[in-house]
């Protein structure tokens, strides 16, 4: 792009000179007064225009760097012409435009008339990076823009703390309450294949049997006789921890297995995983439940954190026929986006009870805590939290 300078005794004359030479394609960059009649000289104005490189070279104009000589030929006047770094100015304009673009609400599937204030842009981008639900992002941003006091908006830390408070209010959490001495709880883990149900059960069994200092009696039942190596995997865990394991292959056998574990405070039931679209296999779990319908069984849906929001919804929709009580998220160490977890839990109104952050038994298990999840959200990682 060429920068060309045109002079005239008035801005209009200078602009007309530019138009005569360059035509309508020229872009006016600046207009300024470069000399004054007060100083004994004539009034003189300079118009600087930008012209694309591919335009034809102009016969009667000079590049900006030599424009001062054009007016001095008649009167031998010395003019103090200031030249600017237009490249720097253009870069500043580009930065300003990008900042405006970041602040515009431009969701993929919905249209909202919302402009994000500059002080909220970083937080808005964080919601986008975490694949937070668009509708919820809009609602949170709109409420925060209205509710956050003006005095706090200029303080980045205060803005950050306010958003943490908002997130804490919308994350449903189930607090862990250890059993009393003679209480008993039966927990059934359900979910798709490969989400980590068996490993999570091993972590929980170790936690309640050895890590809480209560010496709870823990038993494990597996209904998974379909997956190759499933029973052997649990057998290895229970042998190491010296815990009883019951293998149930038919619904009617579940009653007898639970009777044999009647002295246990905690009984964990491992189920066969299946695709969320395989309704028949999900219904088979219901057949086991019906055989022990008189016993209170907590159903915990185990979900992977590294899948998109729509997949979580599909899993929940089909597994909800089992009357899900709580959620446990696994594979938090395999993702950098945590907005889908928060959005999903809030929309389903199901409380989160545990997080699994790796394969190590029993260490990589965290009792649900909103602060932990929010820190993962803010840092795009749960590693080291």
Q: Specify burial of residue 96 (Cβ count, 10 A radius: 0-12, 13-18, 19+).
A: exposed
Residue 274 lies in a domain: yes
Distances (CA, A) of 261 to 187, 203, 216, 219: 13, 19, 13, 6
The tokens for 26 are 């020229």
The answer to whether residue 95 is domain-embedded is no
Q: Tell me if 179 is assigned to some domain.
A: no
Tell me the two tokens of residue 45.
Answer: 């104005």
Q: What share of the chain is helix, strand, coil (3-state, %, to 5)?
A: 45, 20, 35
Q: Are residues 210 and 136 in the same domain?
A: no
CA atoms within 13 A on the CB side of 10: 3
Tokens 């809009």 sit at which residue? 138
CA 294 – CA 302 distance, rounded (Å): 24
Q: pLDDT tens across 267-314, in order?
A: 999 998 878 888 888 888 988 988 888 889 999 999 999 998 889 999
Please indicate, yes or no, whether the overall pTM of this predicted structure exceeds 0.85. Answer: no
User: What is the pLDDT at residue 290?
Assistant: 87
235 & 285 share domain: yes
Q: Taking the CB of residue 308, how many other CB atoms lie within 10 A of it?
A: 11
What confidence score (pLDDT) does residue 162 get? Answer: 87
Instruction: Work out the angle between the directed axes of helices 339-348 and 370-379 (0-180°, nearest 10).
Output: 140
Q: Which residues contact 90 (CB under 8 A, 6 or more apart)?
A: none
Note whether residue 86 is domain-resident: no
Q: Are residues 363 and 234 in the same domain?
A: yes
Residues 133 and 213 in one domain: no
From 170, 202, 217, the end of a domain falls on 170
The answer to whether the beta carbons of residues 61 and 45 sit under 8 Å apart is no
Sheet (strand 365-367) strand order: 245-247, 218-222, 266-270, 185-190, 297-304, 326-330, 351-356, 365-367
Which residues are within 8 A (CB) of 161 and not within 5 positions of it... i.e. 6 or more apart? none
* Strand positions, DSSP E, the chain: 2-8, 27-35, 44-51, 185-190, 218-222, 245-247, 266-270, 297-304, 326-330, 351-356, 365-367
**Do 372 and 242 share a structural domain?**
yes
d(CA 68, CA 329): 71
Partnered with residue 48 across adjacent β-strands are 5, 30
CA distance 365 to 303: 14
Does 200 reside within a domain?
yes
Token pair 């909103």 is found at 370
> Residue 73's pLDDT is what?
41
Whether residue 256 sits in one domain with residue 125: no
The pLDDT value recorded for residue 227 is: 67
Asked if residue 178 belongs to a domain, the reply is no
Q: Do 37 and 115 share a structural domain?
A: no
- Listed in sequence order, the residues at least 6 apart from 249 whose beta carbon sits closer than 8 Å to its beta carbon are 223, 225
Decide if 385 is inside a domain. no
pLDDT at 207: 94
* Residue 276 sits in the same domain as residue 136: no
CA distance 269 to 264: 13
Give the domain range for residue 336.
185-379
> Which CATH number goes with the domain that contains 337?
3.40.50.300
The Cα–Cα gap between 218 and 231 comes to: 17
The reply to whether 206 and 128 lie within a common domain is: no
Domain co-membership, 199 together with 308: yes
Looking at residue 101, what is its pLDDT?
54
* Torsions phi, psi for 268 (to 5 deg): -105, 130
CATH code at position 47: 3.30.1660
Q: Are residues 259 and 290 in the same domain?
A: yes
User: Would residue 363 count as lying in a domain?
Assistant: yes
Q: What is the pLDDT at residue 273?
A: 80
In which residue ranges of the chain is pLDDT below 70?
Answer: 1, 37-41, 52-114, 225-229, 384-385
204/306 same-domain check:
yes
Domain boundary residue among 58, 75, 92?
75
**Per-residue confidence (pLDDT) for residue 349, from 0 to 100:** 94
Total domains in the chain come to 3
């Amino acid at each position: 792009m060429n920068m060309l300078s045109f002079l005239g005794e008035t801005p209009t004359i200078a602009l007309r000179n530019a138009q005569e030479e360059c035509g309508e394609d020229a872009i006016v960059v600046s207009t300024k007064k470069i000399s004054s009649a007060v100083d004994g000289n004539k009034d003189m104005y300079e118009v600087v225009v930008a012209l694309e490189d591919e335009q034809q070279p102009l016969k009667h104009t000079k590049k900006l760097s030599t424009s001062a000589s054009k007016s001095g030929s008649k009167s031998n006047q010395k003019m103090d012409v200031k030249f600017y770094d237009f490249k720097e100015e253009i870069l500043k304009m580009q930065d300003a435009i990008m900042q405006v673009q970041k602040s515009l609400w431009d969701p993929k599937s919905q249209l909202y008339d919302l402009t994000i204030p500059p002080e909220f842009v970083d937080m808005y981008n964080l919601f986008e990076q975490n694949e937070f639900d668009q509708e919820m992002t809009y609602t949170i941003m709109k409420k925060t823009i209205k509710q956050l006091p003006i005095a706090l908006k200029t303080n980045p830390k205060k803005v950050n703390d306010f958003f943490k408070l908002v997130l804490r209010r919308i994350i449903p959490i189930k607090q862990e309450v250890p059993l009393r001495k003679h209480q008993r709880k039966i927990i059934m883990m359900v979910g798709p294949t490969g989400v980590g149900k068996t490993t999570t059960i091993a972590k929980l069994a170790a936690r309640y049997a050895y890590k809480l200092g209560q010496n709870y009696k823990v038993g494990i039942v597996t209904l998974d006789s379909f997956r190759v190596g499933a029973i052997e995997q649990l057998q290895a865990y229970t042998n190491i921890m010296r815990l009883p394991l019951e293998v149930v292959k038919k619904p009617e056998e579940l009653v007898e297995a639970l009777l044999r574990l009647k002295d246990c405070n905690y009984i964990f039931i491992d189920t066969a995983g299946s695709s969320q679209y395989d309704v028949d296999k999900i219904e088979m779990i219901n057949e086991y439940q019906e055989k022990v319908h008189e016993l209170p069984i907590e159903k915990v849906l185990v979900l992977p954190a590294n899948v998109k929001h729509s997949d979580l919804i599909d899993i929940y929709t089909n597994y909800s026929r089992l009357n899900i009580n709580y959620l446990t998220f696994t594979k938090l160490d395999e993702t950098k986006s945590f907005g889908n977890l928060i959005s999903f839990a809030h929309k389903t109104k199901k409380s989160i009870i545990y997080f699994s952050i790796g394969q190590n038994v029993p260490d990589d298990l965290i009792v649900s805590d909103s602060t932990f999840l929010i820190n993962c959200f803010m840092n795009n990682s749960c590693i080291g939290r």
